[in-house]
Structure 1
Amino acid sequence: MLTSAPRGTKDILPGQSRHWQTIEDTIRQICREYGYEEIRTPIFEHSEVFHRGVGETTDIVQKETYDFQDRGGRDLTLRPEGTAPTVRALLEHKLYAGPLPVKVYYIGPMFRFGRPQAGRLRQFHQFGIEVFGSASPRVDAEVIAMAMDFYQRLGLKKLQLLLNSIGCPKCRPGHRQALQEFLQPKATELCGDCQKRLDRNPMRVLDCKNERCQELSQGAPTTVGYLCDVCADHFASVKELLEAAGVEYTLDDRLVRGLDYYNKTAFEIVSTDIGAQSSIGGGGRYDNLVETLGGPSVPGIGFGLGLERVLLTMENQGLLESDSRELRNIFIAMAGEGTAPVAFGLAQTLRKKGLSVELDYLERSLKAQMKTADRFHAPYVVIVGQGEVERGVITVRTMGTGEQREIPLGEATEILSGLF
């Protein structure tokens, strides 16, 4: 149907876009304060970037990517997440050869095929940050604290930060073997996906949303019980730094995240105000991803926060203005023949001064124009009347008090600019 957006996509209408701009302004402000610079990668990449980066065993690659061939026969994929493309850009432009750490952020659309529901679209938007070149737990703590700081600036409440360590290639094999031994007797009762994961990546069984799989994996060996000394010390430092910064967290030894590239620190932020899809963001460390994609050994860590879910949480918590109408600084009303050129010229001059100015475009009565000015919440209305123009003046009405005064037309720009 040509009059409907594709399933799983959503138009962002003029009144709604103002909420998006508020979030984006907050993102850019917090990134400036934390020292992150913006990176913009293509919306589609070579499919191998995600197959090797995100992982062949993930639900994203197996079930959710939008894959296609271009006219040259190249396998391409609409980006389902932002980390792998950012690593690809890091390698292509050798950003790792410059000053370290490299700290970048991105805002943009991502694409995953799935069943659309509240807070989960097939085209969704994500705010993400990535840090390359430091293995220090201080970076882990900064990334996590920054995510929570972002939510707090937007006014979100009742959020829970879940924290875990999933180890490294040195300690992961011990946990893998113990987990396989625990799950093997129950293998036939696991869902089809988890039966495949049991051999390829058994840790992902802990992340399965199937209720029966969750029941069968209760009491399974956890990653924190198999951490090597390096990973244990790293995790202890992350927790200590978060506590020093006043960032509250809850340990969740079943948290493994849904992407294969994570190691050591993993975290997720959840809300109770958006229904079943409770996660509104998360991330973790990925010290081996750059090597996996063909680069040198460069540690990394980052997060990805879903903006639709942020907006849904804000709406459910009453943090979005119900009035979607944009405020104007000044509304210029016209009354009489020959006033339009004066009004239009004045509007353009004021706009060049940085003011938001609205005019009447439907040739309505002065009474109707005043109602329109009120709809735009304009604190001042400039009335350009035929008689006043002939005398070289215009009328300025203060909407809050109803007070009116005449000012010289030649001084209008200076006087009106001085009101703001």
Structure 2
Amino acid sequence: MGAGHSHAGPATAPSPAAAVARRRATWILAAVLVPLGIVTLVAMVLLWPTGDRGDLKLANPYAVAQGVTIETGTVQQVMQSGCERGQQPSQCTIAVTQPDSGGAPVQVLMNPDVMVSHGVKPGDKVRYLNLSKVQQAQSQGASGPQPPSYVFVDFVRTVPILLLAGLYAVVVIAVGRWRGFRALVGLVGACVVLAVFVLPGLVEGKPPLLLALVGSIVIMMAVLYFAHGVSARTSTALLGTIFGLGVTAVLAAWATDAGNLTGVGPHDAASLVNLGGKLSISGIILCGLIIASLGALNDVTITQASAVWELYELAPHTPARKLFASALRIGRDHLASTVYTITFAYAGAALPILIMVMLYDRPLLDALTGSELVEEVVRTLVGSIGLVLAIPMTTAIAVAVVKAAGAARLEAREPGHAELSETR
């Protein structure tokens, strides 16, 4: 493997020249990242939400009137029963449910849409409205048919979702070990940044482009260093990620304006529009376009930085131009699969909309640029462009850093050791 790369003996200390070169590379990275980190933290402090949402309030969909309660229970039996819908008698689906609070089973009227799309079966946990107390107060002296006393609200999904989340954590930690655990903790931290900084900032009308960039850089700095350790390799990946974020932000800002992305198509977005206040739907779309690119950018930049380091360790005397070309070939293979991943992920999330658009029997170009799909199309294109450009940039930075750091070496491993040194 060449001088200085033996796996049999203890690791030798780098030569004075190599040590100086490594320190020089570290200082170069620090000279770029430390001021950037300080600026980002200052911007985060200046943009930090005050907590004042003004008059913006959205009714809780599970809020109930006085005397009405929401209860949970387990379905024991499903049957058909006669009922009235408007002026027409009809057949309704009734779920005989045992309340979790105890007592006799109750007959819960099921939502017809739920029965068509999914249905209900014995053993399902459901949440339902208990209208019995209100109806008893209103039925005194009233005549005619009474509305149902128990009405389906939603399924209780707590147990399966927690099991799935637990399985996810077990798999990640089992395969990734300590690094997998750190990645999960970093993911939790990223969600906290979104919840306490980005989302409240959007509600208060803070600049969405700055919110997205500052929040994304903070997330990437924390996640990358926490999950992968503080090293020149991680710093290189971070620089490539920030470059990709910058490209994505510029394209997202242009596409949101030039493409007239209003966001008024989906029901949830329309509900936000009607709230008024300082909330900007186009700003939410812009912020979403940037944040959506984080995962893929992190993936390709870490891979490219690692590829350059590994290639250099195998052949430390490789010229910079040849090293760049070799690593870029790896990046092209990764690029193709990542672009497919982004496209199929968005297509899967928008599958019901895709089916609706298909049934509209519209021209393909009209369908892709219509309000139903245009946001997904723009998100895919903007994220992919930032991703593509981040690959050669990260590769170039990694080659420059690894060359400046001198001949890298592998840490000598005793039998049973599984990982290479991260002190490169």
Q: Which has the higher strand share?
A: 1
Q: TM-score scaled by structure 1?
A: 0.22
Q: TM-score scaled by structure 2?
A: 0.22
Structure with more contact order per residue of length (Cα contacts < 8 Å, sep ≥ 6): 2
Q: Which has the higher helix share?
A: 2
